[in-house]
Each structure stands twice: as C-alpha cells, then as structure tokens.
C-alpha cells in the first residue's frame, strides 16, 4: 500500500505550518527590545503555556519513531519513559522551581557560577553549547527530515533546510516568547493528531484494546525485570535522580520554560500541567506500536516488519484514512520536530549571549547587542546542525548517537546540581571534581564496561557513575575549605523552604498546588496499578 497525501492533507500541513510561524511572530513582537524580554519573555509566561511548551519541547521525531518502534518490539514497558514523571516532576516542582525563581536565575550556568564559581558555569556553557548543536539538534533534524522525506518522497535536503528556514523565521525574531507560544500550539497539534490516530487505528482492531490485551497479556505490563534490555524498571527508578531529572531540571532547554514564569505558582502548576498532558502521551508515542504489532502478528493483516522503527510509518500508511488524518498526523510530527529545534536554538542563543558573550567577551554589551548576538548564535546553531545532520547515518544511527551523548552529559552535571541545592557543605573544589572527574568516570564506565565484557543497561552504568561522582564530591568537599555563606545560603533547599513557596501570596483553595498535585498523583497511581 503506497503512502499518498491528498490535497486536503497538503492543505492541512501548509496551514498548520503557517499558523505556527504566525503565532511565533505575533508572540515575539516587541520582545527584542530588552535582553530579558528576548531570552526570558520578560518573565510573564502563564502556567498553561509553560506546561504545553514543556511537553512539545520534550517530544521530537526520534522519540516518536523510536518509542513506537520499541513498543512494537518490547511491549507496554516502553511507556515508562513517558509515564514515570511524578517523581521527576515532583522533585522539579518542590526543589528546582522555587530555587530558580526565588533567585531570579536566568540560565543554568548562572546558577553554577553563583553557587560554585565562574569556572563551573563556564564548563556548563561550553559543553552544552557544543552538545545542543551536535548531540541534540543534529539527530532531531536528521531523523525528522528523514522520516518526513521517506513518507512523502520529498527530497531530504529540501525538507531539512525548509525546516531550518521555518524555525529561524520566528525563533530569531521574538526569542523565547515566540518559541514558547508556538510550542503551545504545536503541543495541541501533536497530542491532538496522535490521539485521533490512536483511536482511529484501534477501531480497526476487532474487540479493541481488550482483544489486544487478551491476545498477548505479557506485553501489557509496565513492570519489566532488571535484566530487561529496553526498560528495566529498576534502571528507570535509579534514573529518576540522574538523566531524567537532568533532562527536566538541569537542561537549559527545559529550565528556560520555567525561568520565564510570571510567578513561582505558575512555574509549579506549569510543570503539573505538563504531567497531566503527559498522561495522554503514550497514546501518541507508544501505543500505536501495540496496535501495529496486533495487526501484523495476531490479525496477520500484513507482513512482519524488518525494522521496528518502521512501525510509525506503517501506521500512517495502513491505519490512517485518507480524509485528512495523514495531514493532521504529519502536521503534528512536524510540530514535534520544529518545537524541539526552536527550543534548542533559543537556549543555545541564551547561553552564548548571557554566559559567554556578556561575561567573557564584551561585559559592557547593552541589551540591543545581546539580542543581536543571540540571533546570530541561533542562526549559526541551526546552520551548523543542518550541515552535520546527514552524517548521522554513518555514526551508528540516531538512537545510539542520541542515547550515548545524553548519558555522557547528564551524570556530572546533575550530580553537582543536586549536591549544590541539598548540601550546604558542597564547595567549588567538589563541584570541579564532579564536573571534570564525573565526566571521566562516566566515560570510563561507558567505554570500559563493554570492553571488559560487562553487559549492563546504560541506565545502570549512569547510576553507578553518578554514585561514584557524588561520593567523590563529598570527599573532596570535606577535605577542602567550606564555601562562604553568601554562596550556599541563597540556593540551599530545606524542608522549611516549603513554607515560603509562592512568594507569600494567598490563593483560593482551588489554586492549591498541593490539591492539584494530589489529584494528579491519584490518576498516575491508578495507571500503574492497572498496568503493573
């Protein structure tokens, strides 16, 4: 069955793209007048925009294709990557959001500089500038362009550079405001289109969900044993305090959505709103794989797939009707690609302008020059990533490329951040050991373990590296002078800090963070009880 786009599909895709660019340009009007307006949307972002942008930024092409394919191959356990968010978002809400906003932090490097000194902030800035272009942007551009090109038969390079041009149109104009408001629209497109595809595809299975579950009950469990090659539950539990919290809290791309919040309450409720939306996310990024598996292996309606990553394109070809749904799904797919690309480009511009150019190159730079340098950095990052993207095919594929890169990055940075917030005795020497020594420890384990014949899931290797790194930080900090009070006190989190949340504002009961978090947790617990 050939995949073809109708005139209605093409009109939907073009209309959606124009809407995203239009919203981005509208939201970014006049934001470039000040550096805070351009890079942090003047600190006026409401909770509903923060939550929607949080979701759309964290979902991209390699995730959709990869998780649908992995669910096709391994079953529901892959949904843990989408649903295991309550512990992560809880830590983000209780610890990170209040600390960031109370201290008016503009970037993650600024926090590291204030807490541990300029060298620690510089290390983060330079490492993440390189990482955002070569580890994050490159695979997103490559996988998104390749998938869309394969589906539509459009030229790969035209898709690649067309995506870059569209993103650049609004990202460089209005900064964070443009990016985050367009992200919110893209969230609606992504989740809406994906949910529609799920239910339309499920309707083609006689007996629906119950029939699929009865045919292969072993594939419908969230818990996977520690030896599971794809989603060992123990590894996911350990990753809560490692790569997962780094991605949501220690990653400038995600943190910047919170840093632009108009209040601590908006930041906290925004994270909660993201969690609520993410309860639907497996319908978009995972469960299509379960339907494709049933369609092929139980109903025998099509030949077996040679590659699990073909599951998402298979669903579009065989399960999406031709009354415009393919256009809706591809518009959502493009939205996922564009939202992540625009967020990465914007965060690259923010770190370069505020933490490199302003601090190291031109301390006297005014707002207009900082905004100009941000635009140049944004365009440069997009152009470099587009030039490098085709080479991913020769580097072991998207998923190997992306997973290994993120693993190497997360461990040292999140080790330093967690101890910096939770332990007042952590000092500059300990932080430098965490950043430099932690990187060495992570690389030695990641490269040395396979070389010695030790086969451990990368989540376990990351947890071991983090434990060694944090222990080393404690030892180094205790054997060197304590940090001055003015360094640790503003960022030191204790249980008593819970009383200071929301800046002392009294809100009605229905705006209680605790109330809505409790409701969210009940729903989350039910899902894990139901599918455990």
Digit-coded pLDDT (tens) for 251-302: 888 888 888 888 888 989 999 999 998 888 888 888 998 999 999 988 888 8
- Alpha-carbon dihedral angle through residues 516, 519, 523, 529, given to the nearest 10 degrees: 130
Of the candidates 371, 330, 385, 342, the one whose C-alpha atom is nearest the C-alpha of residue 21 is 342
Q: Is the pLDDT of residue 516 over 60?
A: yes
User: Terminal CA-to-CA distance of the chain, rounded, Å?
Assistant: 37
pLDDT tens for 323-371 read: 677 788 888 777 777 878 888 888 888 888 888 888 888 888 887 888 8
Q: Is the pLDDT of residue 32 over 60?
A: no
pLDDT tens for 377-392 read: 888 888 888 888 877 6
Percent of the chain predicted with pLDDT > 90:
19
**pLDDT level of residue 435 (50, 70, 90 thresholds):** very high
Give the integer Cα–Cα distance in Å for 425 and 475: 11
User: Token pair for residue 350?
Assistant: 């923010």
Long-range CB pairs of 447-451, under 8 A, 24+ apart, other chains included: none
- Most confident by average pLDDT, 4-8, 256-260, 418-422: 418-422
pLDDT of residue 248: 85
pLDDT of residue 475: 96
Assign domain 7-531 to its CATH superfamily: Sodium/glucose cotransporter (1.20.1730.10)
Do 40 and 202 form a contact (C-beta atoms < 8 A)? no
pLDDT of residue 11: 85
The two counts, helices (H) then strands (E), for the chain are 28, 0
Question: Beta-carbon neighbour count of residue 43 at 10 Å?
Answer: 16
Give the integer Cα–Cα distance in Å for 321 and 337: 23
pLDDT of residue 406: 65
Question: Tokens 């669910």 appear where?
Answer: 71
For the chain, domain boundaries: 7-531
Give the integer Cα–Cα distance in Å for 107 and 350: 8
Q: What is the mean pLDDT of residues 232-254?
A: 87
Cα dihedral across residues 70, 444, 438, 497: positive or negative: positive
User: Token pair for residue 297?
Assistant: 């292996």
What's the mean per-residue pLDDT of the chain? 83
Give me the helices (H) in 28-85, please: 35-40, 47-58, 61-74, 80-83
pLDDT of residue 420: 93
393/40: higher pLDDT: 40
pLDDT tens for 84-132 read: 888 889 888 888 888 888 888 888 889 999 999 999 999 998 988 888 8
Cα angle 260-266-270, degrees, rounded to a multiple of 5? 90
User: Token pair for residue 460?
Assistant: 């376990």
177/130: higher pLDDT: 130
pLDDT of residue 398: 46
Q: What is the mean pLDDT of residues 409-420?
A: 90
pLDDT of residue 433: 95
Give me the helices (H) in 75-155, please: 80-83, 86-91, 97-102, 108-116, 118-131, 138-152
pLDDT of residue 239: 85
Of the candidates 310, 516, 365, the one whose C-alpha atom is nearest the C-alpha of residue 34 is 365
């Amino acid at each position: 069955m050939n995949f073809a786009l109708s005139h209605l599909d093409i009109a939907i895709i073009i209309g959606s793209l124009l809407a995203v660019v239009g919203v981005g340009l509208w939201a970014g009007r006049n934001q470039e007048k000040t550096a805070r307006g351009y890079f942090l949307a003047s600190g006026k972002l409401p909770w509903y925009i923060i939550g929607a942008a949080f979701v759309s930024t964290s979902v991209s092409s390699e995730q959709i294709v990869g998780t649908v394919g992995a669910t096709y191959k391994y079953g529901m356990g892959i949904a843990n990557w989408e649903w295991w968010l309550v512990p992560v978002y809880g830590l983000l809400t209780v610890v990170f959001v209040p600390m960031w906003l109370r201290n008016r932090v503009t970037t993650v490097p600024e926090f590291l500089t204030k807490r541990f000194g300029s060298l620690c902030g510089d290390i983060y800035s330079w490492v993440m500038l390189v990482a955002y272009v070569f580890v994050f942007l490159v695979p997103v551009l490559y996988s998104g362009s390749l998938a869309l090109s394969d589906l539509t038969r459009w030229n790969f390079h035209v898709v690649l550079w067309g995506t870059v041009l569209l993103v650049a149109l609004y990202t460089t104009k209005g900064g964070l405001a443009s990016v985050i408001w367009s992200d919110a629209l893209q969230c609606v497109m992504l989740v809406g289109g994906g949910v529609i595809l799920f239910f339309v595809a499920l309707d083609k299975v006689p007996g629906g969900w119950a029939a699929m579950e009865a045919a292969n009950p072993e594939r419908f469990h969230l818990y996977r044993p520690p030896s599971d090659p794809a989603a060992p539950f123990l590894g996911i539990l350990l990753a809560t305090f490692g790569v997962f919290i780094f991605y949501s809290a220690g990653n400038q791309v995600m943190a910047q959505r919170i840093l632009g919040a108009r209040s601590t309450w908006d930041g906290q409720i925004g994270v909660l709103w993201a969690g609520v939306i993410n309860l639907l996310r497996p319908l978009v990024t995972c469960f299509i794989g379960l339907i494709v598996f049933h369609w092929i292996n139980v109903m025998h309606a099509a030949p077996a797939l040679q590659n699990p990553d073909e599951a998402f394109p298979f669903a579009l070809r065989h399960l999406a009707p031709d009354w415009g749904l393919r256009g809706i799904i591809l518009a959502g797919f493009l939205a996922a690609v564009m939202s992540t690309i625009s967020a990465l480009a914007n965060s690259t511009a923010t770190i370069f302008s505020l933490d490199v150019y302003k601090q190291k190159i031109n301390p006297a730079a005014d707002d207009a020059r900082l905004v100009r340098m941000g635009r140049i950095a944004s365009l440069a990052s997009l152009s470099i990533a587009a030039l490098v993207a085709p080479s991913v095919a020769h580097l072991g594929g998207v998923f190997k490329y992306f997973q290994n890169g993120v693993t190497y990055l997360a461990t040292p940075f999140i080790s330093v951040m967690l101890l910096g917030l939770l332990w007042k005795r952590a000092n500059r020497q300990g932080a430098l050991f965490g950043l430099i020594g932690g990187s060495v420890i992570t690389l030695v384990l990641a490269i040395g373990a396979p070389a010695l014949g030790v086969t451990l899931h990368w989540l376990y290797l990351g947890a071991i590296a983090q434990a060694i790194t944090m222990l080393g930080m404690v030892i180094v900090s205790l054997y060197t002078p304590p940090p001055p009070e003015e360094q640790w006190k503003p960022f030191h989190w204790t249980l008593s800090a819970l009383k200071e949340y929301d800046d002392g504002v009294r809100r009605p009961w229905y705006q209680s963070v605790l109330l809505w978090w409790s409701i969210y947790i009940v729903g989350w617990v039910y899902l894990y009880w139901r599918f455990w």
